[in-house]
Amino acid sequence: MNEQFSLKQLLIFFVLSALGVVGNYLNIKLFFGVDFIFGSIAALIAVRILGVLPGAAIAFIGGGFTYFLWGHPYAAIIFTVEVLTVGLLMQYLPKHLRYLALADLIYWILLGAPLVFLFYSNIMEMSFSQTSLIALKQPVNGIMNALIAALVVVGIDFILKKQRIPIGTILFNVITAGVYVTAISLTTIYAYPMKGNAEVGIENELVTIAKIAAENRRSDVDLSQLGPEIIFAKAPMDNLIHINGSLYVNLTLNKGPAMKRWKQADYVVQLPLYGLHGDSTHVIVKKNASQVINNLHQLYVRAFIILAIFSLLAIFCAAAVTGWLLYPLQNLAKHSQNLPERIEKGETPQIPDSPILESNQFANDFRNMAERLRLSFTEITAANDKLEKRVEERTKDLKLALDESQIANNAKSDFISNVSHELRTPLTSILGSLKLIQGGVVGEVNSKIETLLGTAIRNGDRLLNLVNDILDFSKLEAGKMKLTTQPVKAVTVIDSVIESTEGLIKEKGLSLNYEVGNDITVLAEAKRVEQILINIIGNAVKFTQSGEIVIKSAINGKFAEFSVSDTGCGIPEDKLSIIFDSFSQADTSSTRKAGGTGLGLAISEHFVRLHGGRIWVESKIDEGSTFKFTIPLV
């Protein structure tokens, strides 16, 4: 039972409590002195739905009502103990034997019947015959209630809760109910007319005696020899209960079991007399009903013994038949558990044949399926072993190829690095010498030489930048590039970049605008952030024929976001995913016109990632592009 009821459970509790009281009030009379009451149905339903203790509480409430019906508390005690015991048995019986009717039968054999004899025979001082009848009747009544409760719970689970019902529960309850209802019906047909038949005989006997007494009233005949008490009265008796015909009964007790009250009652026949002298009297003949009731007791006890035997047979046969029918299915379910794992371990399910045709066919199909599964698993295992071997061989080949590729890549990186160093040193010297000549160190140069020197210096600078890009890229690719970060003002970086690129932008006839926050400080290596911006601006200048270039910086969460926008030709959408690849350009024909190796954005992307940021591009054809990247704030 849950420690705390929900509102729904509380409502169910009150409804079942009310049904328990009504069930004990609206009884069904099987035959004289034997009534079936149904209060325990609600209590047993509560055991299955709410738990043992709520079910026992409902049994006590419903059983308590019998105190007002019968004038004693013992029925309430027996009903409450019944529900408690059944609830506990439903928890601790083996799972395949957890049936309400079987649990109720066990209760009545072990506790219920002994309690009936204790209360009714020892305390209430009923006769052995009366107590035996109660001890036989109440188990039959209780087991029938348990069957009804079980069928109601199955209906609730199936219809309302949409749960799957174990076939064993359905088979047991249906078989038991079928046999049980048949036995009770036959017993009722046999026992119901017994009292009526006996009373017809009593009526005939008393009427005959009354006539004899009337005829011999004035004679000297001893009427006491006739047996029953004969009274001549001037008026008929009052407060009699009519039975049938001329027969009445005089019940002096109003409370208690029917048979106990009737054993102390008298059957009465009274006939009017008209004497010879005109006096008017009645002849009344009375006979105690105890002999009839005792005979009925004996007949009822025999009937209920037969019914109890049928009950035992019904329950045990239902359990046996259910077990016999379910065993093949349970066996299949047992062998099908973890079937793939068991076959993987090399086990073969051993499923015995079944005497039931359908179950045996099912078992054969299952065996065939298990064998096919085993063969398939063997084939899969062999194929898997072969595949693993091939994968192992391919892995070795790939590792060898990767090692060779790594060696070649390292050789390439070393070669590029060495060549770049070797090229940069003389190139720097050449550019320095050309700039000295251009500056007039060796004398005044004429305009023609000035033009040639400018061309040489410009191309030398391009060549030096290319060498520097290749050297940086080789270091980045080899993982040898390290950053030295420190707090840097964004405005300082952008000012330096503008100073470096302003001439290039104006030479192309483009305008330059920028929006920079003075309070933005990033944790970065200033030289590398400048290089990122210069590479992006260089690309923007190359691919923009007219318009403007806009540089911005702003705070975006924990990062500073830099952006460079242009009004150039834009980048096709299908090229956006490769724009940051090394040696890649969105349009190779444009590359040829604008120049470049395709390393600038790749290097920029590496530097952004080294700082812990990200870089992306937004672009529309013929409208321009915006490159954005983030650098962590201090």
CA 572 from chain centre, in angstroms, equals 51
Q: CB of 159 within 8 A of CB of 199?
A: no
Residue 567: pLDDT over 60:
yes
Q: Give the C-alpha separation, 79 to 58, whole Å.
A: 10
Chain segment 473-509, per-residue pLDDT in tens: 666 666 667 888 999 999 999 998 888 888 888 888 8
d(C-alpha 627, C-alpha 534), whole Å: 12
Give the model confidence (pLDDT) of 517-563 as tens digits.
778 999 999 988 988 998 899 888 888 999 999 999 999 999 999 99
DSSP class of residue 226?
G
Distances (CA, A) of 237 to 208, 215, 279, 290: 19, 21, 18, 20
Q: Residues 589-621: pLDDT tens digits?
A: 444 455 556 677 888 888 899 899 999 999 999
Q: Which of 538, 480, 541 is nearest to 508 (CA)?
A: 541
Residue type, 352: P
Tell me what pLDDT residue 276 has: 44
Tell me how far CA of residue 189 lies from CA of 185, 192, 306, 509, in angstroms. 6, 6, 14, 118
Position 464 scores a pLDDT of 67
Q: What is the pLDDT of residues 164-207, one digit of tens each?
A: 777 777 888 888 888 878 888 888 888 778 888 888 888 888 88
Specify whether the CB–CB gap between 596 and 468 falls below 8 A.
no
Q: What is the tens place of the pLDDT at every residue in 312-363?
A: 887 888 778 777 777 777 677 776 677 677 776 766 666 666 666 666 676 7
Dihedral through CA 223, CA 229, CA 232, CA 238, nearest 10? -160
- pLDDT higher than 60, residue 564: yes
Range among 73-87, 215-229, 365-379 rated most confident: 73-87
Residue of higher predicted confidence among 417 and 75? 75
* 430-439 tens-digit pLDDT: 767 777 777 7
Are 481 and 487 in contact by the 8 Å Cβ rule? The answer is no
Of 585, 605, 581, which Cα lies nearest the Cα of 595?
Answer: 585
- Nearest C-alpha neighbor of 59 from the set 72, 74, 77, 73: 77
Contacts of 570 (CB under 8 A, 6+ apart): 619, 620, 621, 622, 623, 624, 625
Whether 627 contacts 614, CB under 8 Å: no
Q: Is 140 left (phi over 0), alpha (psi -120 to 50) or beta?
A: alpha
